[in-house]
């Protein structure tokens, strides 16, 4: 239903494990997948987090924004391969040789979808990353990654990524809802999925919030394809 990956980032002051369990249970049959990040993993630990998802067969992305030398990123991937995680986010800017290239080979061997960041929603992305957008996308294609992250808050960037990548890459777009991008804008610009966090997870009724987002997404998609 819809093209929504839910970002699970518990706010301060909640029990993170209970918070995640509740939202996972409510949304597991609705979402295309989940994204878990460093703050959550550090708060609850990978073992406990893995327990929450033990029966899940959907897309479970660890948003670790890896940016190390290849050998170390491969170590991280090997650790993740013992869990239910089946997707991982790494930075493309570390380069191909002994970096993303090495990680991409290991990710294929382990059956973990590698997703690289080529642009981000915050303003600082313009300082370095966006100046190298074409190269970051080309590197990602060369490495044969599964997908890339680009911001729904800047649909022009998503369009550029799609034009460069053709159908060689999935595009995942965060920034929908809380950061201001309306649902559907990423998909209309060429993305495959929209990543939505707080607009769903902070709502009093996350299931209703999920359905509202999907409805708006579907309406926007109808408009942009017609």
Q: Which residues bind ligand XMP (CB under 6 A)?
A: 7, 9, 35, 37, 63, 117, 120-121, 149, 151, 174-175, 177-179, 195-199
Of 37 and 70, the one with the shorter C-beta distance to ligand XMP is 37
Query: Of 3, 28, 35, 65, which is the active-site residue?
Result: 65
In eight-state DSSP terms, residue 99 is: I
Quote the least distance from Cβ 225 to ligand XMP, whole Å.
24
Which residues are paired to 6 by β-bridges? 34, 196
Of 86 and 121, the one with the shorter C-beta distance to ligand XMP is 121
Which residues are paired to 181 by β-bridges? 176
Which residues are paired to 193 by β-bridges? 172
Active site residue 123: no
Of 13 and 109, the one with the shorter C-beta distance to ligand XMP is 13
Of 71 and 134, the one with the shorter C-beta distance to ligand XMP is 134
- Say how far apart CA 153 and CA 149 lie, in whole Å: 12
Quote the least distance from Cβ 9 to ligand XMP, whole Å.
5
Of 2 and 151, the one with the shorter C-beta distance to ligand XMP is 151
Quote the least distance from Cβ 13 to ligand XMP, whole Å.
16
Quote the least distance from Cβ 170 to ligand XMP, whole Å.
14
Residue 206: partners with Cβ closer than 8 Å, 6 or more residues away: 23, 26, 27, 200
For ligand XMP, which residue has the nearest CB?
197
- Say how far apart CA 149 and CA 55 lie, in whole Å: 27
Quote the least distance from Cβ 226 to ligand XMP, whole Å.
27
- Say how far apart CA 89 and CA 84 lie, in whole Å: 15
Q: What angle do CA 12, 186, 20 make, to 5 degrees?
A: 25
Which residues are paired to 136 by β-bridges? none
- Say how far apart CA 22 and CA 202 lie, in whole Å: 12
- Length of the chain equals 226
Please identify every residue annotated as catalytic.
65
């Amino acid at each position: 239903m819809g093209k929504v990956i839910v970002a699970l980032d518990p706010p301060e002051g909640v029990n993170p494990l209970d918070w995640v369990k509740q939202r996972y249970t409510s949304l597991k049959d609705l979402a295309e997948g989940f994204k878990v990040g460093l703050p959550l993993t550090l708060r609850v630990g990978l073992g406990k987090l893995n327990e929450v998802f033990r029966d899940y067969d959907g897309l479970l992305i660890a948003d670790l924004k890896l940016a190390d030398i290849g050998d170390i990123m491969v170590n991280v991937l090997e650790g993740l391969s013992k869990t239910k995680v089946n997707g991982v986010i790494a930075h493309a800017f570390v380069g191909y040789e002994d970096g993303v290239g090495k990680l991409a080979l290991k990710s294929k061997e382990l059956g973990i979808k590698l997703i690289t960041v080529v642009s981000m929603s915050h303003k600082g992305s313009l300082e370095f990353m966006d100046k190298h957008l074409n190269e970051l996308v080309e590197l990602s294609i060369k490495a044969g990654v599964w997908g890339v992250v680009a911001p729904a808050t800047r649909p022009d960037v998503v369009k550029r990524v799609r034009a460069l990548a053709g159908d060689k890459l999935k595009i995942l777009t965060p920034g929908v809802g809380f950061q201001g991008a309306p649902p559907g804008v990423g998909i209309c610009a060429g993305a495959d999925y929209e990543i939505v966090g707080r607009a769903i997870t902070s709502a009093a009724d996350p299931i209703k919030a999920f359905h509202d987002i999907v409805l708006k997404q579907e309406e926007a998609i109808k408009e942009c394809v017609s």
